[in-house]
Structure 1
Amino acid sequence: MLVGGLLAFSLSGCVNMQFIVYCRMYSHERWHTKSLVIATWLLDLCHSALVAVALWDSIIATYGDLDKLDVIPWSVGPGVELTAMITFLVQSFFAQRIHKLQKKRFTIAIPIVALSFFRLVTASISMGEMLSLKSYTAFRLRDFSSWIFTLGLLLSASVDIMITTFLCYFLRKNLTSFKDTIRIIDTLTLWTIQNGSITCAAAIASLVCWKVMPQNRIFLGLHFFVAKLYANSLLATLNARKQISNGKQYTPASDQLMPPVVFLEDFEHTPESSLPHGLSMQLDARRLKAGHLRGKSIQVNVERSVESKHDIDNSIEVDLTASCTRDSPV
């Protein structure tokens, strides 16, 4: 428990760092995305506080009293519930991404959200059982408690596998013949697999330890930092939107194109001066299609390049480039 708690505190520090980076880079983002980030951050802080209390009650307050080693501290149950709440928020976020990549269809997103919500319900039941029984042995030997806790961990891992699989599928489905797009989608696919595999592996490890050796607290130590991995997964995904392109840090002075996984709705209310050139052009195209630029003038640049191979007979190489610029009302 102590090792798991210390690792959880370290990962919580990463969550705080990611939250600060998000606030600095995406201060103009839409309110519901900000609300999701703030809620996840606050839940993570509360979870860290509960982990600290659980460690104090298990190690310091009961030091030398072997009779209390089997007592479940009151903070363990709410900690399990907060882990499920953070998991639900993060998995729902990725389900929304699948919904957008699937062209606004709900055939996959709804089952994912439903299973994640069911996992939250099982965590609530487990919390109630822990608060009621107040004994690790009683919780382990009671069939209903053991089964419901196992089901919660199994659902968490299963939903992670579903999210990773479908995200990778729809990303690969959007492959084009353009090398830059292929490179970016390959990067996003790798990023998705890494995020999904880490959270899934932690949930499976906690599940295996719970089933193989429930008499010790290794499963609980692993469970302490599962919530931190989910929170970091969400914040890292949001912060990476300006970093994935070309595999390096985005700077306002650069002129990099945003990766295609970025959804333009996330930047509709962002000032144009703070957007990279590529994303600004995409937003202008969307606003033009929606009629937001009606009555204004736009500048259309047309460039054509014609290139021929080296002519062996006449020793002539042709490289012709023609361009024109035209102002037209919308």
Structure 2
Amino acid sequence: MAAYGNTLGALLLGALLAVFLSGIVSMQVFVYYRLYPNDRFRIKSTVTVVWFLDLVHTIMICIANWLYLILHFGNGVAAQEILWPISVTIALTAVVTFLVHIFFAHRVYSLSKRKLLIAGPISVLALLRVVSAMSCTAEMVHDGTWKKFGEGSAWLFTTGLTISAVLDFVIAIALIVHLQKSKTGWHSMDQIIDSIVLYTVENGLITSIFAVLSLICWVTMKNNLVFLALHFAISKLYANSFLATLNARKTLQQRSQKSSNDANQLPLVFPNGLGRSGRFSTQPVGANPIGSIMQISVEKTVHCVTDAGDGDESPVRLSEEERQDRTMDSTRKR
């Protein structure tokens, strides 16, 4: 009985961290609405839903802390109970996690040229994760106490956190592999690809670390609430990962255009026969077709990773391919 009451301080610290991260989510949503007012309705609606769920999640955390620390202060029996806001936070975390996992599964689907070999299993695992979390919520409401839940339904919570950590790892690996395949061989452009890889690793690593830490604390210390304090932050980290990916588009596209402009100013070395002197000659070219090709390649990669890629994008892709073909034809003629 005392163990749960003695770790309510950890619950308060977890709540403070969650509120701080929720503030960052709201800031990122504000930045998103300012930078991308013309985004597709599907993406904008997903951002709105994630933001709303995050705010509700934060409210539930605050209510739970009020009940544990203020209303039932010093009540050891109340500390053993699973209060209804706690159950709601588990369900909300599951929904936010599901939306973010599906978002990244779609990125994998786009980068892999619409192959379901990896994106399909990721989607299935994401669905299993949300089902296990919803079942966990139902069992929490039914059992009513942490002790009873730990004895009968602990495997549901363990399964959900395990799937979440595995999904983060699989998504990160899949994105990195496909991004490496998108490299152009042009140093400045490949640096942009490396930046996208870094974003991917950082996003997947942070969420996975918190999921694993919460899982470890749950498995090894079921008689306290330290695991729950860490679990409060998981939903916020997924929301921030999702929004950071969307907001990174502008910076990556600007870097892509800058690299292309630099490439356009590079000299071309023509072999024997192209120069009158019969020697290798270096001539600056105002519009280097290689730079244009590299820019198209990287911008398409940035688009696949950070924007939606449905059937309505086929005209854009066709236009880019036509531009690339025309540039190559122009190069051959020269």
Residue 251 of structure 2 is aligned to residue 211 of structure 1:
no
Q: Which has a greater percent of strand?
A: 1
1:44 to 54, 79, 86: 54
1:231 to 225, 228, 239: 239
Give the Cα separation in 2 of the matches to 1:28 and 1:245.
Answer: 16
Cross-structure match for 1:124 = 134
User: Who is 2:165 aligned against?
Assistant: 157
Equivalent in 50, 71, 74 of residue 81 of structure 2:
71
How many Å separate the matches in 2 of 1:137 and 1:231?
A: 31
Give the match for residue 9 of structure 1: 19
Q: Deviations over 1:224-271 (max 9, x none)?
A: 0100000000000000011135769x9xxxxxx674433279599xxx
Contact 1:156-1:203 at 8 Å conserved across structures: yes
Indicate the residue corresponding to 1:180 in structure 2: 188
- Checking the alignment, whether the CA contact within 8 Å between 2:246 and 2:307 is kept in structure 1 is no
Do the aligned partners of residues 211 and 288 (structure 1) sit closer, same or farther apart at CA in structure 2, a change above 3 Å counting?
Answer: closer
State the match for 2:116 in structure 1.
106
Check conservation: 1:184, 1:259, Cα contact below 8 A: no
Pick from 261, 266, 270: which aligns with 2:301? 261
Q: Which has the higher helix share?
A: 2
Structure 2 distance, partners of 1:86, 1:38, is: 12
How far did 1:303 drift?
8.9
RMSD (Å) for aligned C-alpha atoms = 2.9
Q: What is the CA-CA distance between 1:78 and the residue it aligns to? A: 1.2
Q: Output the CA distance in 1 between the equivalents of 2:321 and 2:233.
A: 46
Give, in whole Å, the separation in 1 of the partners of 2:28 and 2:213.
25
Give the count of matched residue pairs: 278
Q: Distance in 2 between matches of 1:285 and 1:164?
A: 25
Aligned equivalents of 1:94 and 1:2: distance in 2?
32
Q: Which moved more, 1:257-266 or 1:217-226?
A: 257-266
**Are residue 141 (structure 1) and residue 141 (structure 2) matched?**
no
Instruction: For residue 91 of structure 1, give the secondary structure of its aligned residue in structure 2.
Output: helix
Amino acid at match of 1:262: V
Q: Quote the Cα distance in structure 2 between the aligned partners of 1:148 and 1:220.
A: 15
Once the two structures are superposed, residues 133-168 of structure 1 have per-residue CA deviations (whole angstroms, 9 ceiling, x without a partner) of 1101111122xx101110000000000000000000
| Contact preservation (8 Å) 1:80, 1:123 | yes
| 2:177 corresponding residue in structure 1 | 169
TM-score of the superposed pair, with normalisation by structure 2: 0.76
User: Partner letter of residue 168 of structure 1?
Assistant: I
CA shift, 1:191, in A, is 1.1
Distance 1:38 1:183 in 2: 32
TM-aligned CA deviation for residue 173 of structure 1: 1.1
Alpha-carbon distance, 1:217 to partner: 0.4
Code of the residue aligned with 1:112 in structure 2: it is I
Q: Which residue pairs with 1:294 in the alignment?
A: none
After superposition, the Cα gap between the structure-2 partners of 1:63 and 1:44, relative to the gap in structure 1 and judged at 3 Å, is same
Residue 131 of structure 2 is aligned to residue 91 of structure 1: no
Gaps of 5+ in 2: 1-10, 259-294, 310-314
**Partner Cα separation in structure 2 for residue 139 and residue 218 of structure 1:** 16
- Per-residue deviation, 1:199: 0.4
Letter in 1 for 2:128: F
Q: Does the 8 Å CA contact 1:181/1:260 hold for their aligned counterparts?
A: no
- Deviating beyond 2 angstroms after TM superposition, the runs of 4 or more aligned structure 1 residues are 244-248, 257-268, 283-290
Which residues of structure 1 form unaligned runs of 5+?
Answer: 251-256, 269-282, 291-298, 305-322, 324-330
Equivalent residues of 1:96, 1:109 under 8 A apart: yes
